[in-house]
Amino acid sequence: MSSEIPPMEHDTTFKFLLKDKKELLVLVKDILRYSWADEIDEESIEFDDSEFVTQQLSQLRADIVAKAKLKGREVYFYILIENQSTVKRDMAQKILKYMVSLWWKELSKGAENLPPVIPIVVYNGTKEKWNLSTDLMEAFETFKDDVFRYRVVDVSEVDVKKILQEEKDLLTPIIFYLEQVREDRDELIRRLLEVEKNVEKLSNENVDRFLRWAYYIIRPRLLEEQKEEYERVAERVKQGGGKNMGEFISNVARLLDEARAKDFNLGLQQGLQQGIRESQIRIAKKMIQKGIRDEEIAELTELDIEEIKRLRKELLN
């Protein structure tokens, strides 16, 4: 059973997670703590799904582009979010392309001033740490400290426990908390049970988004014969809403634990079988060296006669 999630599908889970006004505010206010974030006018936030066309007529689409205003001001600014489950060496260039294309789009509409663009990378990889410079203009040497940088939200290092204690209708802290341990099945089970109260307080919209995340992250970690039961439990939540989330969490934790136990037993059984085979081969080699006939060795070790002949040939060489 593979726990690897296709990068495109996995990145998609963060697109729908952060394409929400409240969740976006949690990211910039409570997690990244931008100094200006408290002044954002929530009602002014708009999400832009349009593509940018470059001078080479190629199309670019950022994962999330949000347009917003600060309270009491008429000037808009943009928040550009790129979701990554792997470290991309060309991230700075990619972000710059988005920013320049966005500015070009505004200029083509007659804008006199370029709107600020705040780039953010939400990285949820587990294979390696994000070790790239976040300085978009590093190549400019002397001037590099005077231009903008993007911020990295390394999901594995974000402390969201304080936010979780508030038990609000917020999905981002829950997802981040679970994402941190998605490769550790035992800890994932423990944290699922830990956030049960938080999940029960989610709105129907956030419940639906949580189920979409679970489909990509939880479901692939189950055995094939468990997935039908998972679908039934998930369907009951879709029909009944948040009131069934406690049941969903309990059942998912149980299924994960059963999958872990079966995987362990299967590994143990395979290990024992491998050990038995190695012992048979070792004994067969000793019998060959003592001059015992192949037919007798095969009968005593339960190895195929062809296997015995192969071992005899190896020893002769």
- Give the pLDDT confidence score for residue 27 in this predicted structure: 92
User: Does the pTM of the predicted model rise above 0.85?
Assistant: no
- Rounded to the nearest 10 degrees, the angle between the axes of helix 204-217 and helix 227-240 is 170
Q: How many residues does the chain have?
A: 317
Could you tell me which of 187, 186, 120 has the C-alpha nearest to residue 154? 120
Mean pLDDT to the nearest integer, 50-56? 53
Residue 242 has pLDDT above 70, yes or no: no
Quick one: pLDDT at residue 42?
A: 92
* pLDDT band at residue 257 under the 50/70/90 scheme: confident
Cβ burial 77-111 (10 Å sphere, 16+ → b, else e): bbbbbbbbbeebeebbebbbbbbebbbeebeeeee
Residue 37 CA, chain-centre distance (Å), reads: 26
More confident residue, 57 or 35: 35
| Mean pLDDT, rounded, for 211-230 | 87
Query: Does residue 286 or residue 249 have the better pLDDT?
Result: 249
Which residues have CB under 8 Å from 301's CB, separation 6+? 280, 283, 284, 287, 308
Residue pair 26/163 in contact (Cβ under 8 Å)? The answer is yes
Question: Greater confidence, 274 or 115?
Answer: 115
Mean pLDDT of the 48-54 span: 61
pLDDT tier at 124 (50, 70, 90 boundaries)? confident
Instruction: Write the burial class of residue 209 (CB in 10 Å: 0-12 exposed, 13-18 middle, 19+ buried).
Output: buried
Inter-residue contact 98 to 78 (CB < 8 Å): no
